[in-house]
Amino acid sequence: MIKKISKKEIIILSILLIDDDQDVNITLKKILEEKGYNILAFSNPIEALKSFRKNFYNVIILDIKMPQMNCFEFYNKIRKIDNKVKVCFLTSGEINYDRYDEILNKNLCLRKPIENEVLLNAIGNVIEL
């Protein structure tokens, strides 16, 4: 999404999308790109971590259940690099991670499948914070 700050300054909002389900990545990427967001999508969190750059992404959309790396481990590694990037967790299951309540309560958590408008509104609200 393009955000106009002033007549001369335009910011293109970037989202890092990580979900091990390739179909989810393709679908969410298409939805978000149609609204003007710059999306970099990964199905492997290790590869996403290797390419992560501080102060580049406005939001990370992160699937909770991934085979290569626990999403909370990924979250903690990202926080060591960039403690300001907003995070949105995605889950298709129950959200019952008592030991991670503090992380989940500080960030947005959405349940899959998700309606397009719900996703877009949630991401828009997170970026505005």
pTM for the model = 0.87
Closest CA to 62 of 51, 49, 50: 49
Residue 44 located in a structural domain? no
Q: Are 16 and 40 in contact (CB under 8 A)?
A: yes
Provide the residue type at 100 as one letter.
Y
- Number of domains into which the chain is organized: 1
What CATH number did the domain enclosing 98 receive?
A: 3.40.50.2300
Residue 20: inside a domain? yes
**What confidence tier does 106 reach under pLDDT thresholds 50, 70, 90?**
confident
CB-CB contact of 33 with 39 (8 Å): yes
If one compares 105 and 40, the residue with the highest pLDDT of the two is 40
Q: How confident is the model at residue 76 (pLDDT cuts 50, 70, 90)?
A: very high
Domain of residue 81: give its range. Answer: 10-36+55-110
pLDDT at 6 over 50: no
Q: What is the pLDDT of residue 116?
A: 95
Whole-Å CA distances, 109 to 4, 5, 41, 113: 28, 28, 18, 12
pLDDT(8) > 50:
no
pLDDT class of 129 with cuts at 50, 70, 90: low
Average pLDDT of the chain?
Answer: 87
What integer pLDDT is reported at residue 2 of this predicted model? 52
Share of the chain above pLDDT 90, in %: 64
In a domain, 59, yes or no: yes
